[in-house]
């Protein structure tokens, strides 16, 4: 059983569907992998300065954080409407 399936099978009173939970967990795991890759030591030759891959990864991390904040706002509004 994958880590994603384990996390989805044991939700903490979530109002999200299984599909939404799986998406959030997989997004979290992807972002975690990206951060781990960015933390790896640099090769001796040259650095990452000006590396377009790193710039794209940083942009991706920023966009994922923005989407996560938007999802939290949407969920809050949906819960408010449900009451």
Nearest to 71 by CA among 31, 18, 27, 32: 27
Instruction: Tell me the pLDDT band of 71, cut-offs 50, 70 and 90.
Output: very high
pLDDT at 10 over 60: no
Quote the pLDDT of residue 12. 62
Contacts of 15 (CB under 8 A, 6+ apart): 75, 78, 79
Tell me: the pLDDT tens digits for 24-68?
888 888 888 888 877 777 666 555 556 677 788 888 889 999 999
Domain ranges of the chain: 3-41+51-82
pTM, full prediction: 0.40
Nearest to 75 by CA among 20, 30, 35: 20
Number of neighbouring beta carbons within 10 Å of residue 72: 10
pLDDT at 69 over 80: yes
Contact 14, 21 (CB under 8 A): yes
């Amino acid at each position: 059983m994958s880590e994603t399936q384990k996390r989805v099978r044991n939700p903490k009173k979530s109002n999200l569907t299984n599909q939404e939970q799986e998406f959030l967990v997989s997004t979290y795991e992807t972002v975690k992998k990206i951060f781990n890759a960015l933390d790896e030591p640099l090769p001796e030759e040259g650095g990452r300065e000006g590396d377009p891959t790193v710039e794209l990864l940083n942009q991706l991390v920023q966009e994922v954080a923005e989407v996560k904040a938007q999802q939290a706002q949407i969920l809050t509004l949906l819960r408010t409407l449900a009451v």
